[in-house]
Amino acid sequence: MSTTDRATPGARPRSDPFRRASRIGAAWTRNLRDDQALLLGLGLILALVLMATVVRLFWTKDPSTVSLTDSLEPPSLRHPMGTDSNGRDLFARFNEGAGISLLVGLSVAACGAAVGVAVGIASGLFGGWRDAVLSRAMDAILAFPPLVLAMAVTVGLGSGITTAALGIMLVSIPWYARIVRAEVLRLRSQAYVDAAFTMGARRSRIVRRHILPHLLPTVLTQAAAVFSYGILALAALGFVGLGAQVPTPDWGAMITDGLPFALSGQWWITFFPGVGVLIATTGAAILADRGRDILDPRSGYRGV
């Protein structure tokens, strides 16, 4: 056994990432049986996932096919969500848009977490000039309204799904970085981490064994909130024409296309994509709220 392995014998069980992950999974499983809010959040997200995958495979209508003879048809068995002004099937476009929104939300949450967690750990663990530089960089990003900054990045790089996702991801990085930095500073002051530093343990080992496992609840909760914001921001960018470009279906763009017809009775063109945005953001918000209660040991929950 090496010197660093003997340095913190009491800390090993609570820092074991596999044990921590199993306890988190057990807590979620127990709560699924009797937590109605958690079931609702998971059900809403699962419904969209099914529509974007299973239902989309069985519904054979092309979301981009134009049929002027079928334009502005109300919801029916042939077109469950009706058609738009170009005769395109809104049910097919809704399912396609669900896949795009969920993919962008997951990409923004995952990529933003990867960069933000790295910045937060480096800032909190190293301190000094590194902390000052990284903190000022995060403050500079936060100085801009999130949606305005995402719009600026999208305009600068060219409108489209990829550039919209990059703009939203840039906005999310400081949200991860600041909360992770605060948590790292708290963990850095713990006796078992200080003992590991004193005994000469490498920073990489300290991060892997004593920092990252304890950051998992915080990062997962923040990721659920960022996922919700990513879907909402993508819809907002699509609404102003900076998201998906024609003929790619996007919930925000679908709402924009339907606005001229909504006041004249064709309510379904804007209603269904709006409901899609509502379902996605509500489900993710519920998961973020309940996840914080379940995963954060300071919340009073005894299962983790």
Are 157 and 237 in contact by the 8 Å Cβ rule? The answer is no
- What pLDDT sits at residue 303? 42
- Is 72 a member of any domain? no
Residue 4 to residue 225: CA distance in whole angstroms:
37
Is the dihedral angle over the CA atoms 142, 149, 118, 226 positive or is it negative? positive
Residue 65 to residue 35: CA distance in whole angstroms:
43
Tell me: cis bond preceding 75? Omega within 30 of 0 counts.
no
Tell me the whole-structure pTM to 2 decimals.
0.82
Residue 54 to residue 290: CA distance in whole angstroms:
27
- Is 271 a member of any domain? yes
Phi, psi (rounded to 5 degrees) for 148: -65, -45
Residue 156 to residue 166: CA distance in whole angstroms:
11
Are 141 and 174 in contact by the 8 Å Cβ rule? The answer is yes
- Is 70 a member of any domain? no
The amino acid that residue 241 corresponds to is G
Place of tokens 């396609």: 96
- Is 14 a member of any domain? yes
- Is 69 a member of any domain? no
- Is 178 a member of any domain? yes
Query: How is residue 65 written in tokens?
Result: 């096919």
The enclosing domain of 217 has a CATH number of 1.10.3720.10
- What pLDDT sits at residue 215? 86
- What pLDDT sits at residue 208? 78
Domain that holds residue 52: 10-63+78-299
- Is 71 a member of any domain? no
- Is 1 a member of any domain? no
- pLDDT tens string for the chain (304 positions)? 444 444 444 444 444 555 655 665 665 566 666 678 888 889 999 999 999 999 988 998 999 889 888 899 999 999 999 999 899 999 999 999 999 999 999 999 999 999 999 999 999 888 889 899 999 999 999 999 999 999 999 999 888 899 999 999 999 999 999 999 998 888 887 777 777 777 777 777 778 777 888 888 889 889 999 999 999 999 999 998 888 887 888 899 899 889 989 888 899 999 999 999 999 999 999 988 887 777 765 554 444 3
For the chain, helix, strand, coil in percent to 5 are: 75, 0, 25
Place of tokens 């809403």: 44
Number of domains in the chain: 1
Which among 221, 237, 122, 121 is positioned nearest to 169, based on CA atoms?
237
Residue 292 to residue 233: CA distance in whole angstroms:
23
